Each structure stands twice: as structure tokens, then as C-alpha cells.
Amino acid sequence: MFCPKCGALLMPKPGKKQLECSCGYKQSAEGIKLREKAKEAEKVEVVGGEENTNIIVEAECPKCGPVEAEHWEIQTRSSDEPPTRFYKCKKCGHTWREYS
């Protein structure tokens, strides 16, 4: 139902058989079937920890030298530009990026 004064949605007032608008308009809810409580959403259980899905490659870490590093790409610039390649050193944790 909508407010005849301002056109906003009339909301039920908890514990009362009354609909109210934010502008102050009130209307009786007699004859209108109100549902007091919505169904509670099911809980989602997370099993296990966070898994790394990045590729492991041989790379040149600016701090450690040649090491294994995680590799991923993200489109950081416009779509006609190549993506930015990110690396994270498995030895020291340093993260760096390369542009083409």
C-alpha cells in the first residue's frame, strides 16, 4: 500500500495493526494480512581455510633475486591496454608488478 499524501510505501508498525509512512500519515491495517517475521536465511558454513589459486612461477624478486613467486594478472588500465602482472615472492613476501 502507498501513502495517499506523498506516494511512499506504507510500512507496518511492529506490534500494532497500523501502517505508517515516513511523512507521518497513518492508516489502520484491519483486514490486511501482515506477516510479522520473515524467514531466517540459512547459515553458510565455510569448510577449510583460504586456498591460494595463484600460479607459482620462477621470477626475479627485487629483494631476494631468483625465487619462486605467486603470479596473477589484473586489468588495471583501459581494456585496450594489456593487463598488469603481479608477483609475490614465496621467500620474503615482497609484492611487485610488471607492465607490458
Q: How far is 22 from 10, CA to CA, in rounded Å?
A: 8
Q: For residue 39, tell me if it sits in a domain.
A: no
Q: Are residues 29 and 59 in the same domain?
A: no
Average per-residue pLDDT for the chain: 86
pLDDT tens digits along 60-82: 999 999 999 999 999 988 889 89
Q: Which domain holds residue 22?
A: 1-33
36 part of the active site: no
| 50 or 23: which leads in pLDDT | 23
57 and 42 in contact (C-beta within 8 Å)? Answer: no
Q: For residue 23, tell me if it sits in a domain.
A: yes
Q: For residue 77, tell me if it sits in a domain.
A: yes
The total domain count for the chain is 2
Q: How many residues does the chain have?
A: 100
Q: For residue 20, tell me if it sits in a domain.
A: yes
Q: For residue 93, tell me if it sits in a domain.
A: yes
45 part of the active site: no
Q: Which member of 60, 68, 81, 98 is catalytic?
A: 81
Q: Which member of 40, 45, 58, 80 is catalytic?
A: 80
Residue 23: DSSP 8-state: T
- Count the helices and strands in the chain (H runs, E runs): 0, 7
Q: For residue 42, tell me if it sits in a domain.
A: no
pLDDT score of 16:
78
Q: Report the predicted TM-score, pTM, of the whole model to 2 decimal places.
A: 0.48
pLDDT score of 35:
64
